[in-house]
A and B are shown apart, each in its own frame.
Chain A
């Protein structure tokens, strides 16, 4: 098939509205007689709710209603369920509003509805909650200690689950034969997503029809509808419509079904009034699901020649106070399964304990489990090189899987689809002169300047699949994607996709795919997403699945359209269907392009139905569900060059080179953009971002003043290139691009900083590598 649009950097059609202030973000929407919500939140991390006094708040002019957790529970509201269950997992009830106890700072205890936001917030301050403050804990490792405060009675030892993967005996054996064992404990610290658009919802219940519409900042509106309707609020699914049109970034944080949208939807139905709630940034810090937060002990067994023989990993994952939608999957199936990395390590065993603490729930944040795995592996690789006196590149070359090994069955369950890891590394080295750098580094050291280089030769897993396997492993949902391709009588096309765009540019890229497949101009294709009222079904976007899964569904739908159209065309051409071809937007009998029927002719006839093949239904529309047979595995090499200032500990990134293999790429400009953003998010974990709690589990980095969201002058421009190894998993050969940057970059930066610090005998510092931490590590040290 000829491709006109695939592979082209087509300018984005969504930009026309976003550049002119005409976007429709949830908080922009206005419905007459809308009321406004504010939540009363716990200032304590752990407390018993003795009494809630609403008298003063209710007396305020403009207050319409105030509800507590008890009101919701008594009216039949159920806890928010978990979407991934592991064997033996403890799932404590998570009600939209806390009932007897609060378990993290910011836990909501009451909902105020008022005529204006200003009144709602003033009234929320007048709600008097009598708390009995209880001891609290914030650290995952502390949670396991004897005598630690208990978060949930169901899990007296704070253990939510224990999970293991890999061949323990084989791994233990590898360690007995090792020439050297390198051990390191790692802290993969907690992050706060900070999409620039705060979460928001607007619920509008129609008492006349019994229907409720919810506009919400969601990455997966159908999942929102299903869970809120069937599990939390008991609304018949067809009576709830969920719309997420323009969404201002997600990075995972807008996947989950949050207490606020459940409570607001319930209240709108109770009052028969529209209710809007928009999070402020302070609430976002306290309630948007956080990311990462692991304590890990890892060791790698090495041969004298530098081969990786075995890897043993023990991780404690802090899950926060409650389990959110995918929380159990993130530190297990999205983490342990990726510990092979790009290497031939034959034996791996991983053991993960998920624990509750009195902190904000932790769930998928850009990369979700794969950044944690990649950081650990890539750091261990560098530490191994050091221990053996090898070059970090040499040890990588020795252990990288080779392109003739694919498909490759890893020792931790995954089957890698395709790859050429050496190819990406080679290409990166054409962009970065490594020998030249080592000379420059040596010269700089003589002047008291400390340069470092860090590599990350990574692989990651996107487009979690297939549904059947995921189901067997505990997923409570399918992991396919749907697309409905509707051809109108005039040959114009509307594609309804279950994927969701919150910055990815689907309205453009999906139109590129559909227009190519149907051989129509791009402007004849409209992409519709984010509305359960018009899109039949969808699983939404997370885990870089829109490219590998979402577009494949569109591709399938387009094939069905062409099949039916060909039947009609053959009939009109009075030809045998087998002889008819479709080329350049025309159907004709092979060899006689002069006599043809256009896409328009056929579409029109499909709806006129005056002359259709016998027995063929009128209309031209197809719905498809693509359920991939496997994950897809993007990979690549990132190289980071830094300078560390001896006197201050300040790290400056001097160059950042990334070669990614994302399979085939629909729109290079858009993919580059995603990689740019992803890289900064990963760099920022290495250098800047850190969610910190104090000894009372109070979040002390609760605003943009003390949690670093990187700004333009915190980073430099990145240098990108790609190699292209298509995946056989989906028809378009796409591997997914949304998270690679974040997954790959963190260890590249950390490795570079450690390389710069190596003259001082420093091997490892936990992230974030802030000036303070580096300065502390350097204190009193002399260059060796």
Chain B
């Protein structure tokens, strides 16, 4: 067992956990933040994507203890005061989700993507999201959603 303090969506959380607990299980089971999903066991699907100190990471590939003292962002922290952010709006507008299971991870990855590259080409969006699988959308509308969000962010709409 180990004591960890992880700042999650801005709030420091201190817990006693088994050292083998994965970050994704810490978020889902210990903190009840079930928006972060688990879709695979080989670090391929990206459903578990969160941000760690602002970088998109796969939370199934980290132990919670590795996030000790650091700051984690999950889908639950993206909308501020009930207002969706540009990426969430983009996904809604462009129908970038169907079953919605990949969506939280996809949004976390896409937010990090446009932060890195505010004006991506379609191809750059596709390459940038290659760590996130979606079986429903065929990605066509996900690319549109990211572009819509990038444009809205650039225009300073939000």
Interface on A for B, CB 8 Å cutoff? 9, 11-12, 14-23, 25, 27-28, 30, 118, 194-198, 246-249, 251, 278, 280-282, 502-505, 669-670, 672-674, 676-681, 703-705, 709-713, 715, 717-718, 741
**Chain B interface mostly:** loop
Closest to B44 in A: A704
B79 within 8 A of A: yes
Q: Which residues of A contact B92 (CB under 8 A)?
A: 11-12, 15-16, 19
Chain B window 4-28, contacts with chain A (Cβ cutoff 8 Å), 1 for yes, 0 for no? 0000000000000010100000001
Residues of B within 8 A of A28 (CB): 28, 34
In the complex, chain A residues whose CB is within 8 Å of the CB of B98:
249, 503-505, 673-674, 677
Most buried by B among A20, A251, A669: A20
Task: Report the separation of the CA atoms of residues A717 and B125 in the bound assembly, to the nearest whole angstrom.
Answer: 12
With known contacts A21-B75, A703-B42, A712–B126 Cβ distance under 8 A = yes
CA distance A282 to B32 in the complex (A): 25
B143-158, CB < 8 A from A: 143
Q: Which residues of B contact A502 (CB under 8 A)?
A: 99
Q: Would you call A18 and B95 a contact (CB within 8 A)?
A: no
Question: Contacting A677 at CB < 8 Å: which of B74, B103, B107, B136?
Answer: B136
Check: B51 CB closer than 8 A to any chain A CB: no
Q: Is the CB of A713 within 8 A of B135?
A: no
* A20 near B137: Cβ-Cβ < 8 Å: no
Report the bound CA distance from A769 to B93 in whole Å: 35
**Docked-complex contact A247 and B141, CB < 8 angstroms:** no
| Closest residue of A by beta carbon distance from B91 | A19
- With an 8 A cutoff between CB atoms, is B35 at the interface? yes
B-side contacts of A709, CB under 8 Å: 44-45, 133, 135
- A19 / chain B contacts, CB cutoff of 8 Å: 79, 84, 88, 91-92, 97, 100, 103, 107
Q: Name the residue on B nearest A504 (C-beta).
A: B98
Which chain A residues border B65 with CB–CB below 8 Å?
none
Which residue of B35, B122, B127, B135 contacts A195 across the interface (Cβ within 8 Å)?
B135
A679→B37 contact, CB < 8 A: no
Smallest distance from the beta carbon of B39 to chain A beta carbons, Å? Answer: 5
Is A21 within 8 A of B136, CB to CB?
no
Assess whether A21 is in contact with B39, with CB atoms less than 8 Å apart. no
Contacts of B129 in A (CB 8 A): 711-713
Contacts of B39 in A (CB 8 A): 196-198, 281
A11 and B78 CA atoms in complex are apart in Å by 20
Q: Are B135 and A20 in contact (CB under 8 A)?
A: no
C-alpha gap A27/B107 in the complex (Å): 20
The residue in chain B whose Cβ has the minimal distance to the Cβ of A281 is B40
What is the CA–CA distance of A707 and B146 in the complex, to the nearest angstrom?
27
Are B99 and A678 in contact, with the CB atoms below 8 A? no
Distance in angstroms from A522 CB to nearest chain B CB is: 16
Is there an interface contact between A18 and B44, defined as CB atoms closer than 8 Å? Answer: no
Establish whether residues A281 and B42, one from each chain, have CB atoms under 8 Å apart when the complex forms: yes
Q: Give bound CA distance, A703 to B45, whole Å.
A: 11
Contact check, A712 vs B132: say whether CB atoms are below 8 A apart: yes
Q: Given that A22-B35, A196-B45 are known contacts, is A704 also in contact with B76, CB under 8 Å in the complex?
A: no
Check B100–A246 contact: CB distance below 8 A. yes
Q: Which of B75, B122, B126, B131 contacts A20 (CB 8 A)?
A: B75
CB–CB A282/B41 < 8 A: yes
Q: Contact between B135 and A27 (Cβ–Cβ < 8 Å)?
A: no
Q: Which residues of A contact B135 (CB under 8 A)?
A: 194-196, 249, 251, 677, 681, 709
A676 touches B140 (CB 8 A): yes
Query: Given the known A-B contacts A249-B135, A717-B140, are A705 and B42 also in contact in the complex, defined by CB atoms under 8 Å?
Result: yes
Q: How far is the CA of A360 from the CA of B20 in the complex (A)?
A: 32
With A197-B37, A717-B140 as contacts: A712 and B95 at CB distance below 8 Å: no
Pairwise interchain contact A717-B44, C-beta atoms closer than 8 A: no
Q: Are B44 and A715 in contact (CB under 8 A)?
A: no
**CB closest residue in chain A, given B33:** A21
Whether A15 touches B100, Cβ cut-off 8 Å, given contacts A680-B138, A713-B123, is yes
Is B72's beta carbon under 8 Å from chain A? no
B143 touches A712 (CB 8 A): yes
Q: How far is the CB of A775 from chain B (nearest CB, A)?
A: 24
**Chain B nearest CB: distance from A461 CB in Å?**
22
Find out whether the CB atom of B100 lies under 8 angstroms from the CB atom of A20.
Answer: no
**19 sample A-B contacts, Cβ–Cβ < 8 Å, listed by A number:** A18-B97, A18-B100, A19-B92, A19-B103, A196-B136, A198-B39, A247-B99, A502-B99, A504-B98, A676-B137, A676-B138, A676-B140, A681-B135, A703-B41, A704-B45, A704-B133, A713-B123, A715-B139, A717-B140
User: A672–B138 Cα gap in the complex (Å)?
Assistant: 11
- Bound-state CA distance A9–B37 (Å) is 28
- Do B88 and A20 touch (CB < 8 A)? yes
Q: How far is the CA of A741 from the CA of B98 in the complex (A)?
A: 15
User: How far is A15 from B98 in the complex, measured between Cα atoms in Å?
Assistant: 8
CA of A30 to CA of B34 in the docked complex: distance in angstroms?
A: 10
Are A11 and B93 also in contact (CB < 8 A) when A713-B130, A715-B139 are? yes
Query: How far is A680 from B135 in the complex, measured between Cα atoms in Å?
Result: 9
Least Cβ–Cβ distance between B158 and chain A, in angstroms? 14
Q: Which of A196, A198, A669 contacts B102 (CB 8 A)?
A: A196
Which residues of chain A have C-beta atoms less than 8 A from B57's C-beta? none
Residues of A with C-beta under 8 A to B56: none
User: Is the pair B140, A196 in contact by a Cβ cutoff of 8 Å?
Assistant: no
Do residues A711 and B130 form an inter-chain contact, with CB atoms below 8 A? yes
7 A-B pairs with least C-beta separation: A21-B35, A248-B101, A18-B100, A503-B99, A680-B138, A503-B98, A28-B34
**B103 CB contacts on chain A under 8 angstroms:** 18-19
Question: Which residue in chain A gives the minimum CB-CB distance to B105?
Answer: A196
> Is the Cβ of B76 less than 8 Å from the Cβ of A20?
yes
State the Cβ distance, B34 to closest chain A Cβ, in Å.
4
The docked-state distance in angstroms from the alpha carbon of A194 to that of B123 is 25
Q: Mark B114-131, 1 if CB is under 8 A from A, else 0.
A: 000000001101110111
List residues of B (29-75) whose CB comes within 8 Å of A's CBs.
32-42, 44-45, 47, 74-75
CB closest residue in chain B, given A250: B99
Judged by a CB distance under 8 angstroms, whether B142 is at the interface is yes
Measured between alpha carbons, how far is A28 from B32 in the docked complex, in Å? 8
Q: A376 CA to B34 CA in the complex, in Å?
A: 44
- A21 to B38, alpha carbons, bound, how many Å? 13
Contacts A12-B95, A281-B42 known; A718 to B138 CB distance under 8 Å?
yes
Q: Which residues of B contact A195 (CB under 8 A)?
A: 99, 101, 135
- Checking B36, B76, B101, B139 against A712 with a beta-carbon cut-off of 8 angstroms, the contacting residue is B139
Q: How far is the CB of A61 from chain B (nearest CB, A)?
A: 13
Chain B contacts for A674, CB-based, 8 A: 98
